[in-house]
Amino acid sequence: SPVPDYLQEVLDGLVDDRSGAVADYIPDLANANPDVFGVAVTTVDGRTHSAGDDEVEFSIQSISKPFAYAAALTDRGFDAVLGTVGVEPSGEAFNELSLEGDSRRPKNPMINAGAIATHYLLSRSGASVTERVDRALEFFSELADRTLSIDESVCRSELETADRNLSIAHMLRNYGVIDSPAHDVVEGYTRQCSIKVTVRDLAVMGATLANAGVHPVTGRRVVATEVARQTLAVMTGCGMYDAAGHWLTTVGIPAKSGVAGGLLGSLPGQLGIGVVSPRLDVHGNSVRGVRMFQRMSADMGMHLMDAE
């Protein structure tokens, strides 16, 4: 069929590109096979096509952030979430220790400061670490339409070297953004980031956001229309960190990257895309993943700003 052939052709065109480097600030990620390369596309009518390493599991990492944001909006409502985390692109690196000047809120939920605060909001006020992590696991599993699990080795490895995220959490606690011990919130956030997915999972998860919150395969409404829209809007402005502007001009698809090499795209009304290739550029985005999206966006006319 033409779609898998096309996807394979795009992979073949980029397979010789070995530029970039796997993340090593999380020691266990440095052990990942750098040559893993896969892609999947799910349309809003529920068909998935894939090529390459489409069954290989990797940790979701920062691609968990938009989904945790959607869960927090669902659990706590817009007022509570927007009062805690802003929606402004930061133009900063993902792990910047920064807050908005006046409000002392993290600038957006896609950088670590905002994502740690968003994780804290999961489930209910006063939730335990287990309740928050279970909420993320249950929600991501519903989106993926299978039972997901945590990569304990990646999680342990990240927690052993989590000083940066612990500093962020202490800063959040100092300003009253979170009200649980910093270590507990970072542990829960790190477990959320260690949930294992495949590119096929990412594609169907992204297709649910693209389909206004209705799961394209199960037909269930997973999130409200306004939650799907809010999540896609924040991904558009902030999903690619300090490369968000370059991404928006050259690709034009709401997206989120993760340091394990995953990349999620979600084109409203059309489809979800998942890509994995672990070598990263200086922004922490997958090198081949970014190039794949540039090529697919051009070939299929997927840029959001194209009038036709």
Please give the annotated binding residues for substrate, written as ranges.
62, 112, 158, 165, 189, 241, 259
Q: What's the half-sphere exposure (Cβ side, CA atoms, 13 Å) at 299?
A: 11
C-alpha–C-alpha distance, residues 76 and 85, integer Å: 12
260-289: contacts with ligand GLN (CB under 6 A) = 284
| Cβ proximity to ligand GLN, 100 vs 281, nearer residue | 281
40 forms bridges with which residues in the sheet? 50, 274
Q: Is 259 a catalytic residue?
A: yes
Helix axes 112-121, 163-174, angle to 10 degrees: 70
For residues 268 and 236, give the distance between their C-alpha atoms in angstroms, rounded to a whole number.
Answer: 11
Give alpha helix (H) positions in 40-128: 64-84, 112-121
List the one residue from 106, 114, 258, 272 that touches ligand GLN (CB under 6 A): 258
193 forms part of the interface with ligand GLN (CB under 6 A) = yes
Based on the shown chain and the rule CB under 6 A, indicate whether residue 157 belongs to the binding site for ligand GLN: no
Burial class for 21, CB neighbours closer than 10 Å (0-12, 13-18, 19+): middle
Q: Which is nearer to ligand GLN, 227 or 259 (CB)?
A: 259
Comparing CA positions, the residue from 246, 228, 234 lying closest to residue 283 is 246
Of the candidates 62, 211, 230, 266, which one interacts with ligand GLN according to CB under 6 A? 62
- Residue 241 among the catalytic residues: yes
259 lines the binding site for ligand GLN (CB under 6 A): yes
Residue 209 C-beta: closest distance to ligand GLN, Å: 18
Instruction: Report the residue number whose CB is nearest to ligand GLN.
Output: 62
Task: By CB under 6 A, name the binding residues for ligand GLN.
Answer: 61-62, 94-95, 112, 158, 165, 193, 258-259, 284
User: Which residues are identified as catalytic?
Assistant: 62, 65, 189, 241, 259
